[in-house]
Chains A and B, each alone.
Chain A
Amino acid sequence: MLRGELTADEIVECARAAVESVNPDLNALTLPLLDEPQEYDADGCLAGVPLLIKDSSPFARGMPFSLGSRAIRGAVATQDHQLMTGFRSAGLAALGQTTAPERALPPNLGGTASHGIRGRWTGAWEGPAAVLLHWSLPVRSLWRMATTVRARSGFRPLAAE
C-alpha cells in the first residue's frame, strides 16, 4: 500500500478485515462475508472495488435474499438484476450483503422483523450506510435516498425456493 500499488485481491482482503472489525458493533450484515467475491469483470473501470449488496436490491445471481422480511425464507436469486449485471461489468466485487428494512419500504431498520442494526449514526439509512459510514474504504453499497418509499418487484421472476 505504501508503494501506491494494490492488487484487487489485496483490496478485497483489506475490505474484509475492515468490515469484519466493525460489524460486531454495527450488526449491518445479513450473512457472513463471502469466502470469495462474486464474479466480476477484471477489465472493468472499477475492477476489484468491493461492493456490499443490500438485501432489497439488486438481486445478484447466487445470493440469498429475504427483502428484510420474515415472510421470505430460503430464497436465492437465480439471475442478476440488470443493474447488478452493470455492476459486475464495471468490475465491482460483491463481497457480502447488508440489511434492509422490510420490502425496503420504511427508511430505517428497527422493526420486529428487521435485523437489530446498531451504531452511532443510525436512523436515516440502513445497513449499507452503516457500513460505509464506518469504513474508510471506497466500498459501494446499494442505496436509495433516505425516506424513499421503495417499490420492490423483482422477487417473482428471481426467486428459487
Chain B
Amino acid sequence: MIGLKPSRGRTPRTATLSASAQEPAVEFAVTKSVRDTAQLLDAVGLSLPGEPAWGSGRYVTAISRAPRRLKIGISTEPWNATAVDHQVAAAAVAAAEMLEWIGHSLVPGKPRLDSEDIVEGEMLAIYAAGRAMLSAPRPVDASLLEAVSRLVLVEASAADAGALHAATQAQRRITAAVDRFFEVHDLLVTPTLAQLPLRHGTLDYDDPEGDVRAWLRKLFDYGPFTAVFNVSGHPAISLPLAESREGLPIGVQLVAPMGGEDLLLQVAAELEQAMPWTGRQPSIFAG
C-alpha cells in the first residue's frame, strides 16, 4: 500500500489555528500503485504559492519518464534515541542500493535537527485538535474522551500566544533544516517506521499516565522518520518494498524537496518496477 503525503498546501486544508501556524495534518488517499497515486494527485492537487499552473496530467506524464541522475541521501538512524529494527533498516538500505544500481548516486546523511523541535512542532496539531473540540457546536463531554484526548483538551485550553509561537518557531527550524538538506541532495531515503507494525493496543491512547509531550515522544519511538516531515511540510511517500520474516509489511520512505512530488513519484515508479510488490498478499484477502 502506497501512502503519499503531499507537500503542505498541495491538497486543500482546513485551518483551525491562525494563518501563520502551519498545522502538520495533510489529507490525501492510499493507493496500490504509483500510477493511481499520480492520477489522483493530478485530479485534486493544487499549485503551491509561486508555482506555475500546469496542464492536466502532470504527474502521470512525469512517471512515464525516468528522472535525471539524482544525488540521494540515505539514513536509517532517527533523530531521537530510538532503536531501529534490523529488518526495517535493511529494507531501506536495500531500496537505496537498488536506486544506486539504477544509476543514482547514494550518500549517507540526513537533515540536522533537534528532535525536541519535532515534538514541539507537533504541538501545533495538538493545539488545533484541542481548539476544534473547544469550539464544537456542542460542548464536548470530556468523560467520553480517551485519556490522551482529555490531556489534549487541557493543553489547548492552557495554550496562550506564547505557546503557539514556540511551536511555530520549532516548526520553522525543522522546515529550514530539511530545506538546507535539499540544497545539496535531491532526495532522502529512510525507513517509514522504526519498528515492525505493532499489535493494536501497544500504543495505548487511553493511558492517562504522563502528559501530551510524553505521549508524542512515545509515538516518535515508533515512527520517528515520518514525524519530521509531517512537521516540516515536505512531500514524502511510503512504499511497501519489503516484508519481514514474520510476514509483516515493511515500508520505505522517500522524501523530496518542497513541491517535488513529480520527482518523488518518478523515483517511486522506478522502485515499483525494480522491486514490485503486487505478488505479496496478506492472509485475509479478497481478490
Query: A-side interface residues toward B, CB under 8 Å?
Result: 17-19, 21-22, 25-26, 44-46, 51, 57-58, 69-71, 81-83, 86-87, 89-90, 101-114, 117, 119-125, 128-129, 132-136, 138, 140-156, 159, 161
A101 CA / B206 CA spacing, docked (Å): 11
- Tell me if B286 and A121 are in contact (CB < 8 A): no
A149 CA / B135 CA spacing, docked (Å): 19
Q: Is B219 an interface residue (CB 8 A)?
A: yes
- Tell me if B29 and A110 are in contact (CB < 8 A): no
- Tell me if A46 and B226 are in contact (CB < 8 A): no
- Tell me if B30 and A151 are in contact (CB < 8 A): no
Q: Is B282 an interface residue (CB 8 A)?
A: yes
Among residues of A, the one whose C-beta sits closest to the C-beta of B216 is: A149
A152 CA / B124 CA spacing, docked (Å): 11
- Tell me if B238 and A146 are in contact (CB < 8 A): yes
* Known A19-B286, A123-B200, A144-B25: A44·B129 in contact at CB below 8 Å: no
- Tell me if B40 and A147 are in contact (CB < 8 A): no
A68 to chain B, nearest CB (A): 9
A-B contact pairs, 23 of them (CB 8 A): A46-B39, A69-B149, A70-B145, A71-B144, A86-B44, A102-B205, A107-B223, A124-B197, A132-B1, A133-B1, A136-B287, A140-B29, A142-B28, A143-B28, A144-B3, A145-B230, A146-B3, A147-B223, A149-B24, A149-B219, A152-B132, A154-B132, A159-B137
Tally of contacts, chain A with chain B, CB under 8 A: 247
List residues of chain A with CB within 8 A of the CB of B286.
Answer: 17-19, 21-22, 134-136
Of B27, B128, B129, B198, the residue contacting A144 (CB under 8 A) is: B27
List residues of chain A with CB within 8 A of the CB of B14.
Answer: 81, 153-154
List residues of chain B with CB within 8 A of the CB of A134.
Answer: 282, 284-286
List residues of chain B with CB within 8 A of the CB of A151.
Answer: 16-17, 23-25, 124-125, 128-129, 132
